[in-house]
């Protein structure tokens, strides 16, 4: 049987790149979704797929390519995201900034799921990389646009999980913890490897029947 095909979005750097690298080692056919293939630092063993998750036409084109090349997708890791409002507060939050953040962090994963679900079979998985910042059970005032977008991604995860349950496709959200990447910054306590481990648990280790949950380091966390 040919290797399972996984698409990791936002794989040019940070956690997406590390997850893609590790999945090559696990024997997957890895498609690294990046919006600037020419600027991508080489990553041995991955196939680079041009993909801007904020651009519906780009998602459609990527899905057509995957359908024509492989005829299927086994795992979709919705990892790409932006954090634009590190210093804003909700009372002065700019509506355009919120809209841009939602386009990438929530509408992107929705459109990707819509485009790729038709080529997913029983046992396939969708992993939405969310954040503790999206937990309604842990209120905060930090980065409202980003946090609202991750709460919306969590809600999307539950909707997709219910919709795809009859087809045996698992959909879960995962928090990698606070990780030293461009987004997390140098002060973050977690290494790239630790953050990627949290995401990879859902790809490699979680029982395929687990769906509709929010996870960190293989343990369920509250919404
Ligand atoms: N780092 C943390 O502490 C932390 C904590 C909780 C959750 N997370 C989540 O973990 C995931 C990865 O974060 P990270 O820390 O690795 O972030 P990062 O270092 O900022 O990398 C973000 C990645 O997303 C890509 N991206 C952004 N917008 C895109 C678009 N429209 N289309 C395609 N790719 C796009 C970037 O591509 P370009 O190179 O083209 O910009 C880059 O590859 C995100 O979902 C983030 O919210 C991170």
- Cα torsion 29, 4, 103, 173 to 10°: value is -130
Give SS3 for 148. helix
Q: Residue 34 in contact with residue 12, Cβ under 8 Å? A: yes
Give SS3 for 213. coil
Give SS3 for 219. strand
| CATH for 155 | 3.40.50.720
What pLDDT sits at residue 87? Answer: 77
**Pocket of ligand 1, beta carbon within 6 A:** 9-10, 12-16, 35-36, 51-54, 79-82, 104, 129, 131, 175-176, 178-179, 181-184, 188
**Containing domain of residue 137, as a range?**
5-220
Joined together, the tokens standing for residue 95 give 């509506």
Q: What is the DSSP code (8-state) at residue 28?
A: -
Q: Which residues lie below 8 Å from residue 39, measured CB to CB, with a gap of 6+?
A: 12
Question: Averaged in consecutive runs of 10 residues, what is the pLDDT profile of the chain (223 residues)?
Answer: 92 98 98 96 97 98 98 98 90 96 98 98 98 96 96 98 98 98 98 98 97 98 98
- Please state the domain count of the chain: 1
Distance 145 CA to ligand 1 centre (A): 15
Express each pLDDT in 142-152 by its tens digit: 999 999 999 99
What pLDDT sits at residue 2? Answer: 82
Express each pLDDT in 101-142 by its tens digit: 999 999 999 999 999 999 999 999 999 999 999 999 999 999
Distance 82 CA to ligand 1 centre (A): 6
Distance 181 CA to ligand 1 centre (A): 9
Catalytic residue among 28, 146, 178, 215: 146
What pLDDT sits at residue 197? Answer: 98
What pLDDT sits at residue 88? Answer: 79
What pLDDT sits at residue 135? Answer: 98
Q: Residue 88 in contact with residue 38, Cβ under 8 Å? A: no
What pLDDT sits at residue 1? Answer: 58
Q: Which atom of ligand 1 is nearest to the CA of 180?
A: 1
Report the C-alpha gap between 131 and 154 in whole angstroms. 9
Q: How many CB atoms lie under 10 A from the CB of residue 165?
A: 14
**146 catalytic, yes or no?**
yes
């Amino acid at each position: 049987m040919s290797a399972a095909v996984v698409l990791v979005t936002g794989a040019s750097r940070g956690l997406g790149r590390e997850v893609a690298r590790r999945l090559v080692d696990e024997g997957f056919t890895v498609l690294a979704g990046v919006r600037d293939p020419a600027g991508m630092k080489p990553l041995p063993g991955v196939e680079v797929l041009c993909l801007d998750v904020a651009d519906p036409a780009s998602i459609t084109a990527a899905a057509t390519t995957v359908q024509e090349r492989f005829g299927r997708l086994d795992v979709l890791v919705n990892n790409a995201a932006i954090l634009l409002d590190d210093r804003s507060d909700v009372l002065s939050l700019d509506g355009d900034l919120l809209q841009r953040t939602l386009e990438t962090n929530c509408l992107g994963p929705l459109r990707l799921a819509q485009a790729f679900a038709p080529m997913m079979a029983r046992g396939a998985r969708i992993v939405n990389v969310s954040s503790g910042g999206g937990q309604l059970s842990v209120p905060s005032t930090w980065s409202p646009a980003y946090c609202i977008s991750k709460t919306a991604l969590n809600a999307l995860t539950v909707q997709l999980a219910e919709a795809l349950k009859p087809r045996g496709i698992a959909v879960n959200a995962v928090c990698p913890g606070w990780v030293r990447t461009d987004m997390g910054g140098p002060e973050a306590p977690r290494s790239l490897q630790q953050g990627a481990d949290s995401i990879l648990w859902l790809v490699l280790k979680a029982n395929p029947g687990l769906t509709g949950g929010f996870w960190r380091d293989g343990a369920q966390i509250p919404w």
